[in-house]
Amino acid sequence: MSLGFIALCFFISSNLLAQKRDFYELRTYHIETAEQEAMLDEYLEKAFIPAAHRNGIAKVGVFKPIASEPDAGKKVYLFIPFKSMDGILGLAAKLAKDQTYQTSGSSYINAAFDKPPYKRMETSIMQSMTGQPKFAESKLTNSKKDRVYELRSYEAATERLYKQKVKMFNSGEMDIFEKLNYSPIFYGETIAGANMPNLMYMTTHENMDVRNAHWKAFSADPDWAGMKDLAEYKNTVSRNDTRLLYPAEYSDL
């Protein structure tokens, strides 16, 4: 067996490994009081995120609605990237055996029934799109409190139309975001969630003025003009649910 053939096999296997798609869990905690928010912050910062790091999850995102949003102070978003579905399914068992986590997270884990840390919790499970198979850290360097992270969910009327919108992202739409410096964190195809069929993605902007300028530039972009009216992409979005968020100070992303 030649060295050239071995090198080729190594290159192919490395490339396939590099293209392996992430899986994402996005939790939404619905809260009613500042006390609940404080309980969640303490738990996520002191217990959950350190435990996630110990269990091989390098980066975890925590986001909250910006002050101008109608649900400001009412939600906390937790974004967890995994390398496989096994990672999602196995995390709870790992946390149950993590004594440091159990101790540092005790006030959340053992909260009384009449003093819960949230009103309700919902979860979406996604697989990354092929056009960006791995999540990415935002390129922003300004103060986290000033940033605007835009979480969008594009719902479709049917599965077929949903797949066409995913194709649109993979075939050029996310390239336009990259060109215009949207600094995206993830693009995900929803596997399980409340509003299927839908895709979700998150872009990041230094502030609201930059965010608005980005969308103005997107609307005028020639590449977008060349694809938005193509017949294959007609009527692919029946509802656009947009959430404007900022990262918690202790968020990794």
The pLDDT value given to residue 24: 98
196 in a structural domain: yes
Query: Does pTM top 0.75 for this prediction?
Result: yes
The pLDDT value given to residue 219: 97
187 in a structural domain: yes
- Per-10-residue mean pLDDT for the chain, 253 residues long? 44 51 98 98 98 97 97 98 97 97 98 98 98 97 97 98 98 97 98 97 98 98 96 97 98 98
1 in a structural domain: no
Mean pLDDT for the chain?
94
The pLDDT value given to residue 19: 66
209 in a structural domain: yes
Q: What is the CATH number of the domain that holds 60?
A: 3.30.70.100
Q: How confident is the model over 2-27, as pLDDT tens digits?
A: 445 444 444 444 444 446 999 999 99
The pLDDT value given to residue 7: 42
Range of the domain at 177: 21-247
When divided into structural domains, the chain yields a total of: 1
3-state helix/strand/coil string of the chain: CCHHHHHHHHHHHHHHHHCCCCEEEEEEEECCCHHHHHHHHHHHHHHHHHHHHHCCCCCCEEEEECCCCCCCCCEEEEEEEECCHHHHHHHHHHHHHCHHHHHHCHHHHCCCCCCCCCCEEEEEEEEECCCCCCCCCCCCCCCHHHCEEEEEEEECCCHHHHHHHHHHHHHHHHHHHHHCCCCCCEEEEEEECCCCCEEEEEEEECCHHHHHHHHHHHHHCHHHHHHCCCHHHCCCCCEEEEEEEEECCCCCC
Q: How confident is the model over 58-80, as pLDDT tens digits?
A: 999 999 999 999 999 999 999 99
The pLDDT value given to residue 249: 98
160 phi/psi in degrees, rounded to 5: -60, -45
b/e sequence 10-31, b meaning 16+ C-beta within 10 Å: eeeeeeeeeeebbbbbbebbeb
Instruction: State CA 60 to chain mean position distance.
Output: 9
The pLDDT value given to residue 15: 44
11 in a structural domain: no
